[in-house]
Structure 1
Amino acid sequence: MNRPSHRTHRLAIIGGGPRATYALERLSATIGRLEPGTKLHIQVYERTGEFGAGTAHSPSQPRSSYLNRISCEVGFAADESSIGAGPLRNPADRPTLYDWCRSQFALTGETDFDVKPNSWPKRYVHGLALTDMCATYIAELRAHPDVEVSLEARDVVGIREISGSDDERHGPLEVITADGQSSQADHILMITGHTAHDPRRSPVHGPLFDSAAHNGGTYIPYVYPLDKSLPQATTGPEMTVGCAGTGLTAIDAILHLTEGRGGTFVTSPIGDLVYEPSGDEPSSIVAFSNSGLFTFARPTNNKAVDPARLEHRGVFLSHGTVDALRTIHGTRGGSLGGPVRRQLDFERHLLPVIVLEMAYLHYRALFGAEAAEWLAGLAMPDFRRFLAGHHHGEGPEALLAPLLAGADLLVTTLETMLVQGRAVDHVEASMPSPKGLVRHWIGVVFGPEAQEQVRLLAESPAALVKACASWTSPWALDETPAGNRFSWKRTLTPLGISTAMSPGDYREAVLDMMRRDHLWALQGNIDNPHKAAADGVWRDLREVICYAVDDAGLTPHAQRTFAERYVRHHNRLANGAGLEVMERIRALIRHGLLDISVGPGATVRGDGSGGFTIEGPLTGTSRRVDVLADARLHTFDPYQDASPLYRDLLSAGICRQWRNEDADGNYYVPGGLELTAEFQPVRADGGSEPRITVLGPAARGHRTFLMDALKPGRDHYVMRDIGTWARTLWHHLAHPRKPDQQGLDRIGIGVG
């Protein structure tokens, strides 16, 4: 077919945040694929006008918000690990956030740029880097004679098929903005990121919003952007602010209302962080959530120096294990337009393996690699029988008995040598060396200085017992051989509270738990047993969990349970804020400005006078607040979204929601859109929509974890997805499809 000599292809990118930066990077790096005679016009829409960063990563956001990823683990471009990405930039032209900050510090001397590879940077710094890198990629594209890039600081509210066209289903689309402007696009990349719910459309927010509207109160349904949603006029002195949430979003809001108002954190003579108020803060911030706990502190990442060697590879939890579980335990699921999948139950089939892997890692850190391999050997027969379909009890700890029995034998060895002062000369040939076990355990519990003394005391059992009794764990670990046991129940409920308690007692219990957790975080994600178990499974093996869960890998009921319960556990265990940030939260609780006295399971209601009442069933506390702010990240739901964009697409039949369905017709609709393997929407009639690509939170349901910061050196899924889109786009430009070539591939969209 003869193509026009000057064909213009119009690409619209809706959403100008981090994914737009990565998309523009791939376009500029692969622009050599633009065929002669073809012009490319790119329009990037970002309603905030902050191209490259967007709202969540805005360079203009308060300086009190931090990333929850260290600087060397944030990138901006494809690298050698990005399989199939195409041409790569020179290493010097694809810095990590750490590299970018060092170059900026050399130029400006600004202390916020003076970071180390394992530093937790401020989020606005990431926004500055994203803006800078995005501008670089745009400049490269504009330097090409056949490329035009337009930046549109407008909010896209609709996409329409152009009616009356002879090729309505396959011609250009019309992009409509809130100010009434419109333009045509041949392809659209939708990367709108996390968006807020409209409280009038939400069963959660609606009653609270109505109460505030009817009684003259202040209800804030979404805290971002912080400076606009939480102005001093409504959240200043003399005001009590209720904060619904205790996760990362709530932490951002709390620090904005305190440190962001001029308060400072100073170190006391005894080493504690102390908050000194400015007087511009609210009189009190009442934080509450279902758990009543803030996230655990992210540990020092001692794996960052050599992730390929130090990041954990599953012993029990692996892709092969998931396949075996699916073969033996899986039940027939829906087809999703492709081959029928066998679905698993998360709590019955996957959770016991996850907990076993955590226990293995816990005891590997506590007892050493030699002991861990011995324990794994004890656990393996029951584990293999479980994979073969032979059940071994109920509950998440169903596979732990052999491993825990082995741990008891190791504890007996430690007690014999360190408490009773007797030598252990005879052990089974397969058991770890008693001397090596003792030396490792002492190093973990008491530190390297104590570990070095073991060598000197080895010939005097009595002296070793005396020394061990005198040492104190710098990490607040239990100092007895029988302590530091792995417990899944205690991992989920670290306070161990079973009966009602006073608000003051609850506060002290939380502070003590946070003190221990922060010392564990300081010890790091390799040496501390508790942090090693959580980090090694819920971070290092997150891709395996996604392999099991995503693309209808679970039954509808199990996926709902996972989404509503275990994603929260993941966030608290392994996706919390850095230690520096969590020490600030702890200091605010100690100061008393941050009030957590309502405890877990709190409920909130409008009080009829413009305020709100928060009640805690465990502590019996009832707190009235003047202002209520929802400080939780809203999950994607087109029917609750504040923007009409996705509702417009659904009503036009251009897309439909994804649903997980089993063979009996039971189903679960998480909220996201149904997409093909190339991330193109599936239309209401079941056909694909190749003119649109959707990435990010709008894929909720297909995908579980949808973070948007690119991690270098990991073949990170964010860049894999961008690479898939870029390859599909270039292929379409070189080989435009005819209507009868529109295939539908709904087998799945990969691992999150």
Structure 2
Amino acid sequence: MSVLERLVARLIKLENGEKVEIFLIDDGHIGTGRIWSTEQSPFLLMNTVAQEISAFSGMWDGKEARPGNGPSFAQWWQMHHDDYSQFGGYAPRAYYGEYLLYVLSAIERTLPPFVTLHKVSARVESLDEINASQLLHLSNDQELEVDRTVLATGHPINRLQALEKTIYDFASTTPDVTFIQGDSVADMDLSSIEPNQKVGIIGMGLTFYDLMVELTIGRGGRFIKKDDGSMIYCPSGREPRIYAGSRSGMPVPVRGRNQKPFNYEYHPVIFTQERALNIRQHGDVYFDRDVLPLLEAEITLVYAETKLRREKGELVAQLLRENVIKYHVDSVEGVNTLAFILGLSYPIAINIYHLADPFKGCMFPSIGAFNETLYSVLAADYAEAMHGNIGSPIKAALDVIRNTRSVIRSFVDFGGLNPNSHQFEFINKFNPVSGFLSAGPPAFRSLQLQALMRANIVTVVGPSIKLEPSSTNNCIYISSPNVHNSAVALNVVIDARIPTTDINRDCSNLTQSLINNGIFIPFVNKNDDIEFETGGVNVTPSPFHPIRANGTIADRLYVLGIPTEHTRWFMQSGSSRPHKWIDFMIDADAIAADILQGSDESGEYDANSDKNQYCAIARAL
């Protein structure tokens, strides 16, 4: 949708362009994709506040929406629904689907006369390169020959392996045992889960919260807020018993109450693009040695200045940042020294790995004892979130991870790290912690979870969970080695972890055809005799053409988003900000510009470029 919006915004600037036909291909949800389907449950919410999001590539002038000029998601929401204030700014995902359809309608309404947009309800099953064009084979048995193809295929469904394969095989042959594979909750079939049935959930990220609400208020239960701000849960009687667990045993912390305006921008002074480029130029970069200390110093700075602002006032907080710049401070120790001089009397030690694994090394005598401890941790996290993402030192500090994603990309993308560091320090270690600490749900989800724990509908089994099929008892046992007597017999197991990007395991017929045709290969990070095969599509820098198995560039194809994860980092984002293009919109526009072959930055079309351009924006799930 972003490529389409930018493509049409550029085409509108042409007075007498050559004929262009655009094919927007999706198998059932044209304009929204399956993730933003308007048919999904209203209880499934986004985890980014609506005012930070726009699918238009320009600020709205209040007139009729058009490519490059339209309302932000928050503005649209307030115009089309009367419940904006009820959600604290976090919209139902179905609303965002409606918004995307509004964007698509604005695009269609303003198409230049020489442009035709075809909406094709089908899946692209395979793609063949034929000289300078591509032949797309569709699931409706049609074939489509095009000149350019944008592949924006989104989250994969992967071939199962290891523990997931073991559980799937066991459930497939065992009566009364069900395994539900990792996916969007909107696409999970939860209808077979019976009241009071024991359901295990692997992973406690955003999908865990989605499952929690679908299996409770999605089944007729109600949350009631008490005078003291807490919630109680009134069950419908149709709820299962939920037993959850993860590596850390901690549900992803909630986001701080939003205090930031829609045009908020954070400007780092330690963890900067300049430092990233300078370090990367020297080569052999290790994440733990060269990158993480700078990021933690920036996090410490925001924590310290937030504390100083609360205790000493705004001018003292500003002075800390000015002194960090003045004295070229680039370490946690340096920030602590300057903060101490200004009145903070204790050292600040923020270790993101400790924050993400709060129960490491702890043993608990029972599940009840663990849940009492966890409940206290959740209550403290909620109280901190209520101070806001500017007022809470820790919530403000952890927002630095979100706000400096582009700096992290400068270090990491296209093999910027040593291969071993890329695999073990970054992808295996930092990546999950980054999401855990910076991408939580809205704060009221914590109150709901606490209420469900008190009602004995949700129980967290503990850290480092283990799953063991039992053919004797026709069940799967879930347990934690850190919690004594924690084994629980389950009838249903749901994988709530996000499927990783690995094109070799992707079940998509299109992806496998691209691999078989030598168009897709995984990006391999190489350094001397060390190699790390990432699983993401090997692409060029912007505009992201796939690099074929024979080393040549497929310069009429483009790959955007999640299929390139690990080649680049954090490709899940799919929108921009209302007031400023972020990386995603910049990428989408670069593809749109390249499609038009010879258009300059003003969007003018080169009359010598290919006649009768045909572009397929293909999304195959």
Does the TM-score normalized on the shorter chain lie above 0.5?
yes
Choose the corresponding residue for 1:53, options 26, 32, 39.
32
Say which structure, 1 or 2, has more relative contact order (CA 8 Å, 6+ apart): 2
Residues 318-375 of structure 1: CA deviation (Å, up to 9, x unaligned): 1122234335xx4xxxxxxxxxxx2310111111111122112111111235555666
Match of 2:131 in 1: 169
1:445 alignment counterpart: none
Paired with 1:524 and 1:722, the residues of 2 have a C-alpha distance of: 33
Task: Provide closer, same or farther for how the CA distance between residues 402 and 292 of structure 1 changes in structure 2, counting only shifts above 3 A.
Answer: same
Provide the rounded CA distance (Å) in 2 between the counterparts of 1:575 and 1:654. 33
CA shift digits 1:3-24 (9 cap, x unpaired):
xxxxxxxxxxxxxxxxx2x222
C-alpha separation in 2, matches of 1:37 and 1:540: 40
The equivalent residue for 2:616 is none
Aligned equivalents of 1:316 and 1:100: distance in 2?
A: 37
1:696 paired to 2:561 = yes
Q: Return the alpha-carbon distance in structure 1 between the equivalents of residues 68 and 560 of structure 2.
A: 28
Once the two structures are superposed, what CA deviation does each residue of 1:443-499 show, in whole Å capped at 9, x if it has no partner?
xxxxxxxxxxxxxxxxxxxxxxxxxxxxxxxxxxxxxx7698755565333456533
| SS of aligned partner of 1:599 | strand
Question: How far apart are the structure 1 equivalents of 2:114 and 2:474?
Answer: 59
Residue ranges of structure 1 left out of the alignment (5+ in a row): 1-19, 82-87, 106-110, 162-167, 331-341, 387-398, 411-430, 442-480, 739-752
1:565 corresponds to = 429
Moved more, 286-295 or 360-369: 360-369
1:207 aligns with 2:166: yes
Aligned CA distance change for structure 1 residues 91 and 675 (closer, same or farther; 3 Å):
closer
TM-superposed deviation, 1:300: 1.8
CA distance in 2, matches of 1:274, 1:723: 48
1:714 corresponds to which residue?
580
Is 2:364 the partner of 1:540?
no
Counterpart in 1 of 2:535?
671
Pairwise mapping of residues 105-254 of structure 1 onto structure 2 (< 5 A)? 105=81, 111-113=82-84, 119-141=89-111, 144-161=112-129, 168-170=130-132, 172-199=133-160, 202-216=161-175, 217-226=177-186, 229-232=188-191, 234-254=192-212
Counterpart CA distance in 1 for 2:350 and 2:13 is 54
Alignment correspondent of 1:730: 596
SS at match of 1:149: strand
- Which sits farther off after the overlay, 262-271 or 627-636? 262-271
Amino acid at match of 1:350: V
Q: Which residue of 1 aligns with 2:284?
A: 343
1:274-285 equivalent positions in 2, closer than 5 A: 274-282=232-240, 284-285=241-242
- Amino acid of the residue matched to residue 545 of structure 1? I
Per-residue CA distance 1:362-396 (angstroms, 9 max, x = gap): 11111235555666688789976x8xxxxxxxxxx
Residues 112 and 370 of structure 1, relative CA distance in 2, 3 Å threshold: closer
**Partner SS for 2:493:** strand
Q: Note the residue ranges of structure 2 that are not aligned, 5 or more in a row.
A: 599-605, 612-621
**d(CA) in 2 for partners of 1:692, 1:154:** 19
Q: What is the deviation of 1:90?
A: 7.0
User: Is 1:97 equivalent to 2:73 in the alignment?
Assistant: yes
Q: Tell me the equivalent position of 1:367.
A: 308
Match of 1:659 in 2: 524
Task: Please list the CA deviations of residues 382-421 of structure 1 after superposition, one character each: whole Å capped at 9, or x if unmatched.
Answer: 976x8xxxxxxxxxxxx434444555xx5xxxxxxxxxxx
* SS at structure 2 position matched to 1:649: helix
Answer yes or no: is the 8 Å Cα contact 1:115–1:121 preserved in 2. no
User: What residue is the counterpart of 1:64 in the other structure?
Assistant: 43
CA contact (8 A) 1:287 1:594 kept: yes
Report if aligned partners of 1:710, 1:716 keep a CA contact under 8 Å in 2. yes
Deviation at 1:263, TM superposition (A): 1.1
- Whether the 8 Å CA contact 1:518–1:579 is kept in 2: the answer is yes
- 1:428-443 matches, within 5 Å, as 431-432=341-342
> 1:685 Cα deviation (Å)?
1.1
User: 1:267/1:670 Cα in 2 relative to 1: closer, same or farther (>3 Å)?
Assistant: same
Is 1:513 matched with 2:377?
yes
Does the 8 A contact of 2:56 with 2:70 survive in 1? yes
Question: Which has more strand, going by share of residues?
Answer: 2
Q: Residue 268 in 1 paired to residue 221 in 2?
A: no
In the TM superposition, what is the alpha-carbon distance from 1:655 to its structure 2 partner?
Answer: 2.5
Shift of 1:305: 5.4
What displacement does 1:679 show?
Answer: 1.0
Q: Distance in 2 between matches of 1:182 and 1:224?
A: 30
CA-CA distance at 1:734 after TM superposition: 4.6
Per-residue deviation, 1:155 = 1.7
For residues 72 and 325 of structure 2, the distance between their equivalents in structure 1, rounded to whole angstroms, comes to: 40
Please name the residue that 1:336 is paired with: none
Q: What's the TM-score, normalizing by structure 1? A: 0.73
Give secondary structure in 2 for the equivalent of 1:671.
strand
- Separation (CA, whole Å) in 2 of partners of 1:623 and 1:293: 18
In the alignment, which residue of structure 2 is the partner of 1:289? 246
Deviation per residue, 1:200-231 (Å, 9 max, x gap): xx3342211111112243111134353x5233
Question: Percent identity at matched positions?
Answer: 25
Which structure is larger by alpha-carbon Rg, 1 or 2? 1
Q: Which residue of 2 aligns with 1:460?
A: none
The whole-number CA distance in structure 2 between the counterparts of 1:375 and 1:24 is 45
CA distance in 1 between partners of 2:141 and 2:332 (Å): 62
1:482-538 Cα deviation digits (max 9, x unpaired): 698755565333456533442122111111111111111111122211111111x20
Question: 2:295 matched to which residue of 1?
Answer: 354
**Deviations 1:661-682 (CA, angstroms, capped at 9, x unpaired):** 11x2212122111112311111
Query: Is the aligned partner of 1:650 residue 2:503?
Result: no
Which of 480, 493, 496 is residue 357 of structure 2 equivalent to? 493
Q: Structure 2-normalised TM-score?
A: 0.88
**Corresponding position of 1:741:** none
Give the CA deviation at 1:115.
Answer: 6.2
> How many angstroms apart in 2 are the aligned matches of 1:637 and 1:688?
21
Cα RMSD, aligned residues only: 2.8
Structure 1 residue 169: Cα displacement: 3.2
How many Å separate the matches in 2 of 1:736 and 1:264? 60
SS in 1 for 2:488: strand
